[in-house]
Amino acid sequence: MLSTKYISNCTERNLDDLKTAILFFDKIELVNNYLVQVRPEKGKGPLKPGDIGVVTGITNFITDNYKSHIDSLIQEGVVSISDEGTGTRTNLGKNIDYSMNEVFHKNISFIFEESNSEYDKSGKKISSGFHFSDEAKMVHEEFVGSFEVGNRVDLNFLVKYYSSLFGSLINHMITGEQCMTSSNALNSFFKKYSETPEFKKNYKSINANGVSPNLALNAISIAVPNISSFPFDEVLETRVRANDELLKFRNEMETFQFNLLENYSIQEIHVKAPEIIKHKLEPTLSDLKLKISGLNLKLPATIISEFKDPRSYLPLIASIFHEVPAHIATLLSLGMITTNIAYEYIRSNREIKNSGLYYLIDLNNRFGV
């Protein structure tokens, strides 16, 4: 059984990411990070060591709306939820949390996007502006409030939110667990952080047990760019029906990643997954689509209507070529194509369907709208 921990934005606007994930994984454990708000029992001011505190609130990062939408997946045992507040961390995890908070406060550009840049005549940038990324705005609107005139903007919450998620992600990755996130902000920060001396010194043990989820999910997204209109039960049923193709796809992705390791580290594969898929896998998928389109032999409707069961005309050929398509059998029976052409069609068709990437073609056919 292929499973992963999912550490990402779990709000109503991120449901499609989970739909894509269940097309690859058998089981997904959502890690519910949360923040606990505490104030001193007496008086005001910051809580000091030795003080008695009172819990004033708990903010779960997996929202109730999100849980209600995925209830069917939980009932089926495909998805589970585990709580992981900062108080549940191991000593190693607590050290990571502390480190992440420090790093995030020093460099919070990962939640901003550059805008309104100005360049001189030579093309050199002379000024730039920044605004909150769409993802950061979504998180803020979900947990704090919308960006409107007069409303409070809590930058400190965003830092705590993302540092908590990232600390959890790193904590599980360095213990060799399969982990994934679909957060652009976390992936952006991971890219920057993995290049720092601190990361290279402390987190050399990060490795991949199985295919990097970022590779698999970016590959699936090529085939099915938008599955928002399909409910979870239909997406899950599609995965079950295409199980044979899925198993071949997993093997294909394992081989693909193994070859990548000659030139990329696991960290690089994680952060460069979109570019890798676009430049190295998408051309192969395009070639496969061309082969399929080349097998689309057309048959006039008038011929089809004259034969209720074309295979009955060719019991010998049908016994030699298993799973002969009806239109091929009809063309053979009418003498419109030779047995060599029929054999080549069947051989090529089998070769295509044995390709691990055929799963992506199959998904496109099943979800095509």
- The 10s digit of each residue's pLDDT in 181-222 is 989 888 888 887 777 777 777 666 666 667 888 899 999 988
Is pLDDT of 177 > 80?
A: yes
Is pLDDT of 30 > 90?
A: yes
Q: Which of 23-32, 101-110, 140-149 has the lowest mean pLDDT?
A: 101-110
pLDDT attached to residue 304: 45
Beta bridge partners of 118: 127
Is pLDDT of 229 > 80?
A: yes
Is pLDDT of 29 > 90?
A: yes
pLDDT attached to residue 292: 72
Average pLDDT over residues 19-23: 93
**Nearest one of 245, 220, 239 to 358, comparing CA atoms:** 245
Q: Which of 126-135, 176-185, 192-201 has the lowest mean pLDDT?
A: 126-135
**Nearest one of 306, 335, 333, 294 to 317, comparing CA atoms:** 333
Q: Which of 55-64, 120-129, 254-263, 327-336 has the lowest mean pLDDT?
A: 327-336
Average pLDDT over residues 266-282: 87
pLDDT attached to residue 264: 86
Is pLDDT of 307 > 50?
A: no
Is pLDDT of 160 > 80?
A: yes
Is pLDDT of 272 > 50?
A: yes
Is pLDDT of 297 > 80?
A: no
Helix (H, G, I), strand (E, B) or coil at 113: strand
User: Are β-strands 53-60 and 34-40 bridged in parallel, bridged antiparallel, or unpaired?
Assistant: antiparallel
Average pLDDT over residues 115-128: 63
Is pLDDT of 120 > 70?
A: no
Percentage of residues in the chain with pLDDT exceeding 70? Answer: 66
DSSP letter at 279?
Answer: I
CA atoms within a 13 Å half-sphere pointing along the CA-CB vector of 193: 28
**Nearest one of 321, 314, 330 to 349, comparing CA atoms:** 321
Is pLDDT of 163 > 80?
A: yes
Helix (H, G, I), strand (E, B) or coil at 232: helix
Is pLDDT of 309 > 60?
A: no
| Tokens found for residue 98 | 């502390």
- Which residue did the predictor score with more confidence, 336 or 52? 52
pLDDT attached to residue 22: 94
pLDDT attached to residue 305: 46
CB-CB neighbours of 31 under 10 Å: 22
Q: Which of 41-50, 130-139, 155-164, 233-242 has the lowest mean pLDDT?
A: 41-50
Average pLDDT over residues 154-160: 84
User: Are β-strands 112-119 and 125-132 bridged in parallel, bridged antiparallel, or unpaired?
Assistant: antiparallel
Residue 148 — very low, low, confident or very high, per pLDDT cuts 50/70/90? confident
- Which residue did the predictor score with more confidence, 249 or 350? 249
Give the helix ranges, DSSP H, for 226-338: 232-241, 243-260, 266-271, 273-276, 282-294, 301-306, 315-320, 326-333
Q: State pLDDT tens for residues 83-94.
A: 875 544 444 445
Is pLDDT of 284 > 80?
A: yes
Spell out a b/e string for 323-345, using b for 16 or more CB atoms within 10 Å of the CB, else e: ebbebbbbbbbeeeeeeeebeeb
pLDDT attached to residue 96: 54
Q: What is the mean pLDDT of the chain?
A: 77
* C-alpha R_g of the chain: 26
Is pLDDT of 289 > 90?
A: no
d(Cα 76, Cα 28) in Å, to the nearest integer? 12
pLDDT attached to residue 330: 61
pLDDT attached to residue 316: 45
CB-CB neighbours of 314 under 10 Å: 19
pLDDT attached to residue 67: 93
- Which residue did the predictor score with more confidence, 222 or 321? 222
Percentage of residues in the chain with pLDDT exceeding 90? Answer: 21
The one-letter code for the residue type at 179 is: C
